[in-house]
Amino acid sequence: MSNTDRDDGGGAQQGGAPSPDALLPTLDEEQLGVLRWVGREWGRVSGDPEAWRRALPVDPDLGRYPAPSEILPVRFGRFVRVSPVGGQPSGVEATGEDTRPSRLGRVGSGVRHVLLGAPLRSTAIAYERMRKVVALPVLSADALSSVAYGPEAMLAVLVLGGASALSYSVPVAATIVFLMLAVGMSYRQTIRAYPHGGGSYIVATANLGRVPGLAAAAGLMTDYILTVAVSVASGMAAVTSAIPSLEPDIVAIGVVVIAVLLAGNLRGVRQAGVLFAAPTYAFVLAVFVLVALGLFDAADRGFQPVAAPRLTATEGVDVLLVLRAFASGSTAMTGIEAISNAVPAFRPTEWRNARTTLTWMVGLLIALFAGTIALVHLDGVVPSAKETVLSQLAHRAFGPGFLYVFTQAATAAILLLAANTAYNDFPRVLFLLARDNQAPRIFLRLGDRLAFSNGIILLSVAAAAIYAAFDGRTAPLIPLYAVGVFLAFTLSQAGMVVHWWRLRDRHWRKSLAFNATGALLSAIVFITAGVTKFTEGAWFAVLVVGLFILVTTRIRHHYDVVGKALELHPHAVEVPSRTITPPRSEDGAKRTNAQTSSPEPEAPTEAQSEAETEETPEEIHPLSIVPIATLDLAGMRALAYAASLQQPVLALHISPSEDEAQRFREYWREWGDHLPLKIVVSPYRTIVAPLVNYIESLHHQRPDLTLTVILPEIVVRHWRHRLLHNRLAARLRRALRPLPKIVVTTVPFHV
Residues 643-702 that bind its own copies (CB under 8 A): 643-650, 654-664, 667, 670-676, 678-686, 688-690, 692-694, 696-698, 700-702
Could you tell me where the DSSP H helices lie in 198-272? 200-208, 210-242, 250-267
Nearer to its own copies, 33 or 399 (CB): 33
Interface with its own copies (CB under 8 A), residue from 14, 42, 393, 549: 42
3-class SS shares of the chain: helix, strand, coil, % to 5: 65, 5, 30
Interface with its own copies (CB under 8 A), residue from 39, 162, 305, 570: 39
Nearer to its own copies, 421 or 577 (CB): 577
Contact set for its own copies, span 364-383 (CB under 8 A): none
Q: Which stretch binds its own copies (CB under 8 A): 43-51, 168-176, 214-222, 237-245?
A: 43-51
Return the DSSP state at 703. T
Q: Which stretch binds its own copies (CB under 8 A): 97-105, 162-170, 339-347, 401-409?
A: 97-105
* Dist CA 368 CA 320 (whole Å): 27
Residue 622 φ/ψ, nearest 5 degrees: -95, 155
- Least Å distance, CB 69 to its own copies, is 9
Q: Is 560 in the site for its own copies (CB under 8 A)?
A: no
Contact 428, 452 (CB under 8 A): yes
CA 528 → CA 252, 323, 479, distances in Å? 34, 7, 11
Return the DSSP state at 679. E
Nearer to its own copies, 475 or 652 (CB): 652
Q: Is 110 in the site for its own copies (CB under 8 A)?
A: no
Residue type, 403: L
Enumerate residues 6+ apart whose C-beta is below 8 A from 174. none
Q: Is 750 in the site for its own copies (CB under 8 A)?
A: yes
Interface with its own copies (CB under 8 A), residue from 183, 398, 559, 626: 559
* Dist CA 519 CA 512 (whole Å): 10
Return the DSSP state at 292. H
Nearer to its own copies, 305 or 440 (CB): 440
- Least Å distance, CB 668 to its own copies, is 9
Nearer to its own copies, 364 or 687 (CB): 687
Contact 494, 200 (CB under 8 A): no
Return the DSSP state at 536. I
- Least Å distance, CB 260 to its own copies, is 25
- Least Å distance, CB 277 to its own copies, is 29
- Least Å distance, CB 728 to its own copies, is 11
Contact set for its own copies, span 331-350 (CB under 8 A): none
Nearer to its own copies, 386 or 674 (CB): 674
* Dist CA 434 CA 552 (whole Å): 9
Calculate the dihedral angle through the C-alpha atoms of 369, 374, 376, 378, rounding to the nearest 10 degrees: -170
Q: Is 706 in the site for its own copies (CB under 8 A)?
A: yes
Q: Is 14 in the site for its own copies (CB under 8 A)?
A: no
- Least Å distance, CB 586 to its own copies, is 5
* Dist CA 679 CA 187 (whole Å): 74
DSSP string, 618-674: GG-EEEEEEE-SS-SHHHHHHHHHHHHTTS-EEEEEEESSHHHHHHHHHHHHHHT--
- Least Å distance, CB 67 to its own copies, is 8
- Least Å distance, CB 213 to its own copies, is 19
Nearer to its own copies, 517 or 708 (CB): 708
Q: Is 735 in the site for its own copies (CB under 8 A)?
A: yes
| Binding footprint of its own copies, residue count (CB under 8 A) | 186
Nearer to its own copies, 119 or 305 (CB): 119
3-state SS string over 385-431?
CCCCHHHHHHHHHHCCCHHHHHHHHHHHHHHHHHHHHHHHHHHHHHH
Nearer to its own copies, 290 or 456 (CB): 456
Enumerate residues 6+ apart whose C-beta is below 8 A from 498. 207, 208
Nearer to its own copies, 22 or 367 (CB): 22
Helix (H), strand (E) at residue 467:
helix 453-469
Contact set for its own copies, span 585-644 (CB under 8 A): 586-588, 600-603, 612-623, 629-634, 636-637, 640-641, 643-644
Contact set for its own copies, span 437-496 (CB under 8 A): 440-442, 445-448
Binding mask 116-155 for its own copies (x = CB under 8 A): ---xxxxx--------------------------------
Contact set for its own copies, span 48-77 (CB under 8 A): 49, 52-53, 55-62, 64-65, 67-68, 71-72, 75-77
Interface with its own copies (CB under 8 A), residue from 111, 296, 565, 574: 565
**C-alpha dihedral sign at 182, 183, 186, 188:** negative
Nearer to its own copies, 200 or 655 (CB): 655
Residue type, 391: S
Q: Which stretch binds its own copies (CB under 8 A): 93-101, 244-252, 388-396, 418-426?
A: 93-101
* Dist CA 266 CA 447 (whole Å): 8
* Dist CA 460 CA 467 (whole Å): 10
Contact 209, 201 (CB under 8 A): no
- Least Å distance, CB 52 to its own copies, is 6
Interface with its own copies (CB under 8 A), residue from 12, 78, 175, 315: 78
Binding mask 524-553 for its own copies (x = CB under 8 A): ------------------------------
Nearer to its own copies, 198 or 690 (CB): 690
Interface with its own copies (CB under 8 A), residue from 8, 11, 14, 46: 46
DSSP string, 32-73: HHHHHHHHHHHHHHS--HHHHHHH-SS-TT--SS--HHHHS-
Q: Is 562 in the site for its own copies (CB under 8 A)?
A: yes
3 state DSSP class of 627: strand
List beta partners, residue 625: 650, 709
List beta partners, residue 685: none
Dmax (CA) for the chain in angstroms is 114
Return the DSSP state at 25. P
Contact set for its own copies, span 265-294 (CB under 8 A): none
3 state DSSP class of 440: coil
- Least Å distance, CB 202 to its own copies, is 22
Nearer to its own copies, 148 or 634 (CB): 634
* Dist CA 416 CA 97 (whole Å): 32
Q: Is 25 in the site for its own copies (CB under 8 A)?
A: yes
